[in-house]
Amino acid sequence: MIASNRTINYLRISVTDRCNFRCLYCVPSSPFSVIEHKKIARYEEILRITKLACELGITKVRITGGEPFVRKDIFSFLNRLCAIENLKDISITTNGALLTRKKIEQLTSFGIKRLNFSLDTLDPVKFSQITGRDRFKQVWESIFASHELGISPVKINAVILRGINDDEIENLTALTLKYPFHIRFIEYMPMGNSAVEKQQQILTQEIREKIESRFGKLVPVERTFNDGPAKKFQISGARGIVGFITPISSHFCSECNRLRLTSRGTLRPCLLNNYEKNILNPLRNGASDDELKKIILSALTKKPAFHGLTDQSSENIPISHMTSIGG
């Protein structure tokens, strides 16, 4: 599928807006409601939309949320997803707290080889402050179990905030000396109404300077076909990779090859643009496969050339928070 001169081959599917964590950069600071169960796309519905999207050229899928592993029967869904023809690459973004060695083994038996974990600190106390949950040990064990079971690469996403975990940049980076992990620093994106203040946002340049002053100059790493938006580097002699995801300081819109399917059954061509097209209602009202494919293609015509978040004016801030869109 082509949109804004780009080939779109990547579908990011949010299977739920619910989460067992309350990360301060992700969930709204004021009380919020979750989506009614009947309005959430059922697994059969997600599988049908995905199959049609694959017929139109999608080859990669990432499952996200909310927290994907809080949804009931997720493993049987993932097993069926892995059976879709033309789907070559399935990965999952998770906080890791509900995974166990046995469950990770199950994922690898389905053919899932890549997992992204979110981990913003190596300090259990700070972890509880950021996520609202005392689950550091479980997440840490899941990351290492994945590594031992051959998940590769194990990617770790960290959102760095001034005064919260900016003193963890070096500790997180040092993991790459010993393990072949990809540690990716994601710039905080203001979405919905999180508790994060503007002055807590730290951009990549500052993070990079901190890393280089401790570990020496970062060496750029060549991109591979499976790369996402992260700009990749290595500390000289390290086993792992340091990545920077820079939606604010240097947007990567011209390379963005993704479409999102939210748990509400809407197609969202851009994370940072509020436009969404509902595909679930037509599907529930009996639309044919051809009609649904037309809806997918028409959503893509709305893929913007670039997002408007860099100018920081409030009208450009997405009204939904990450858990409701799917990060």
Nearest distance, CB of residue 228 and ligand SF4, angstroms: 17
Among positions 97, 130, 139, 159, the unique one binding ligand SAM when judged by CB under 6 A: 159
Nearest CA-CA partner of 271 in 204, 226, 320, 231: 320
User: Interface residues for ligand SF4 in 76-105 (CB under 6 A)?
Assistant: 95
Q: How far is CA 233 from the centre of its chain?
A: 20
65 touches ligand SF4 by CB under 6 A: yes
181 touches ligand SF4 by CB under 6 A: no
26 touches ligand SAM by CB under 6 A: yes
Distance CA 144, CA 124 (A): 16
Nearest distance, CB of residue 191 and ligand SAM, angstroms: 5
Q: How many residues bind ligand SAM (CB under 6 A)?
A: 19
What stretch of H or E contains 126?
helix 124-131
Q: How far is CA 206 from the centre of its chain?
A: 23
Question: Mask: binding to ligand SAM, 72-101, rule CB under 6 A, as x and -?
Answer: ---------------------xxx------
Question: SS3 helix, strand, coil % of the chain, rounded to 5?
Answer: 35, 20, 45
* Phi then psi dihedrals of residue 12, to 5 deg: -105, 115
DSSP string, 287-304: --HHHHHHHHHHHHTT--
Q: Which of ligand SF4, ligand SAM, none does residue 27 bind to, with CB < 5 to 8 Å depending on kind?
A: ligand SF4
Other Cβ atoms within 10 Å of 197 Cβ, number? 11
27 touches ligand SF4 by CB under 6 A: yes
Nearest distance, CB of residue 1 and ligand SF4, angstroms: 27
Q: Would you tell me which residues interact with ligand SAM (CB under 6 A)? A: 19, 25-26, 64-65, 67, 93-95, 118, 157, 159, 186, 188-189, 191, 322-323, 327
